[in-house]
Amino acid sequence: MSVESKPAIPPAAKRSGGTLRERKKERTRRTIRVEAFRLFREHGYAATTVEQIAEAAEISPSTFFRYFRSKEQVVLVDDMDPIMIQRFERQPPELSALEAFRRATLEAFEALDPAQFQFERERAALVRTVPELRGALQQEMERNVDLIAELVAKRRGRDASDFEVRALAGALIGGAQAVLMDRDPFDPEAISRIIDFLAAGMPL
């Protein structure tokens, strides 16, 4: 994997507001992720330890675990979720759920500055290429299905456990996973094509 040497900045790093304590916690969280990704680039994911990340971030291992449950979670935690949720909930009510997701996704991508976009690309590449992380994708898929089901249910006045709501969420996540696993997951054209295909009833 080829990435620039400039430190990546997680989207959460540029949140504004909050108390001094909250801002300090956010800076620590950002530092942990930035230093972790630097070490992953230099030494590889498998060879990098929590102790090394903590030392680079100038914190103790116990402090590391207050922010992330494991080294795996440093990569898997998705800071795009709050951005996507916010953009989705802003979409006009007359739009279909799939069209609302299309617009929310494109708007979320546009909201990222170059450094944030670089971080998300690098994070996605790690998840796709590192065996230890790729094995955790099933859990991430289940979490994402639950998240989308909740959003769709709220938008349509349904229950998140409804058959059709779960089926739509599963189709969207499954389609994206199947198509984008070995492609650029931030390709707007590919994402739109998936949504168009699902909206059309998946004709072959």
pLDDT (tens digit per residue) in 25-78 = 999 999 999 999 999 999 999 999 999 999 999 999 999 999 999 999 999 988
Share of the chain above pLDDT 90, in %: 66
Q: Do residues 128 and 181 make contact, with C-beta atoms less than 8 angstroms apart? A: yes
pTM, two decimal places: 0.78
What tens-digit pLDDT sequence spans the chain (204 residues)? 333 334 556 665 445 457 888 889 999 999 999 999 999 999 999 999 999 999 999 999 999 999 999 999 999 988 888 999 999 999 999 999 999 999 999 999 998 888 888 899 999 889 888 888 887 777 888 999 999 999 999 999 999 999 999 999 999 999 998 998 878 889 999 999 999 999 999 999
What pLDDT shows up at residue 13?
A: 45
The CA distance from 123 to 118, in Å, is 9
| Domains with residue ranges and CATH for the chain | 11-74 (1.10.10.60), 78-199 (1.10.357.10)
